[in-house]
Amino acid sequence: MTQNQALFEYLLRLGDSDLILGQRLCELVGNAPALEEEMAIGNVALDLIGQARSWMTLAAEVASAAEIEGAGRSADDLAFTRDERAYRNLLIVEQANGNFADTMARQYLFDVWHFHLLSALSGSADERIAAIAAKGLKEVIYHLRRSSAWIKRLGDGTEESHAKMQDAIDEIWTYSGEMFIADEVDSLLADAGIGADLNQLRSLWQADVQALLAEATLNCPSMDEYMQRGSKQGLHTEQLGFLLAEMQFLPRAYPGASW
């Protein structure tokens, strides 16, 4: 694997996770517990889809410059015509919205990871990556502040909200471990000072999550529980296919059309 191939793959992973979580949040427009929340969810979606666009634009540039697989495809092509098996988003972000606690549990566990990831990537040896990460980090600080607040509110709110929040954490937990599983791509880029060290991320993530869940009077499941994996090989849960069928409908139905 060349460094450019690894880089292309790495950028797709970043972009796909942002895009798919953004798409899930788009589904919630008109469907949040308060208008202010709807606005907040929309803002997070806007940030994530914007970041996805930046990552995929860079991925398209890298592929074309290095003439590797994916060359000649635009960011839109990558987002709107790749198949489920070629998608590289983390399994956690494709999980359905569920109730508000489910939505927030998914968001919080992702946000903590996203925050530490972008912090690390802000110092990437690849300046293009550092620039996108630094810009994204400002947004993600706000995402994390918000989702942390909701974990506390729901965890330490009413009995009902506590039970729902604990269920939500317990259910989504099995999809959290995948964020820290490094493969050849990760190692190659971490060694080159371009990508993030996932082991380091794991410790930071664990400390933050354990502390916040404790503050929220919630039980934190063990990091040693069985964790689902597969997204780095494009092995997704059955939910992603339906999401893509909807998201990609127009470009699929009118191949080559410009919008």
Among 3, 5, 38, 141, binds other proteins (CB under 8 A): 38
Among 127, 222, 224, 255, binds a copy of itself (CB under 8 A): 255
Of 57, 65, 45, nearest in space to 14 by CA: 57
Q: Is the alpha carbon torsion for 237, 238, 239, 245 positive or negative?
A: positive
Among 88, 116, 143, 152, binds other proteins (CB under 8 A): 152
Angle, alpha carbons 208-167-160 (nearest 5°)? 105
Least distance to other proteins, CB of residue 96, Å: 10
Least distance to a copy of itself, CB of residue 241, Å: 8
> Among other proteins, a copy of itself, none, what binds residue 211 when CB lies within 5 to 8 Å by partner kind?
none
Among 34, 127, 222, 224, binds other proteins (CB under 8 A): 34
Of 122, 97, 83, nearest in space to 21 by CA: 97
Q: Is the alpha carbon torsion for 61, 143, 112, 94 positive or negative?
A: negative
- Dump strand ranges (E) for the chain: none
* 23 near other proteins, rule: CB under 8 A: yes
Least distance to a copy of itself, CB of residue 236, Å: 15
Of 156, 15, 33, nearest in space to 74 by CA: 15
Among 82, 114, 116, 164, binds other proteins (CB under 8 A): 164
Question: Which region, judged by CB under 8 A, interacts with a copy of itself, from 16-24, 142-150, 188-196, 242-250?
Answer: 242-250
Burial 91-102 (b: 16+ CB within 10 A, else e): bbbbbeebebbb
Please write down the HEC assignment for all residues of 105-169. HHHHHHHHHHHHHHHHHCCCCCHHHHHHHHHHHHHHHHHHHHHHHHHHHHHCCCHHHHHHHHHHH
Please, which of residues 165-184 interact with other proteins by CB under 8 A?
Answer: 171, 174
> DSSP state, 219?
P
* 97 near a copy of itself, rule: CB under 8 A: no
* 42 near other proteins, rule: CB under 8 A: yes
CB nearer to other proteins: pick between 123 and 230: 230
* 1 near other proteins, rule: CB under 8 A: no
* 252 near a copy of itself, rule: CB under 8 A: yes
Among 14, 21, 49, 121, binds other proteins (CB under 8 A): 49
Q: Identity (one letter) of the amino acid at 197?
A: D
Of all helices (H) and strands (E), which one includes residue 208? helix 198-215
Give the interface with a copy of itself as residue ranges (CB under 8 A): 83, 241-242, 245-246, 248-249, 252-253, 255
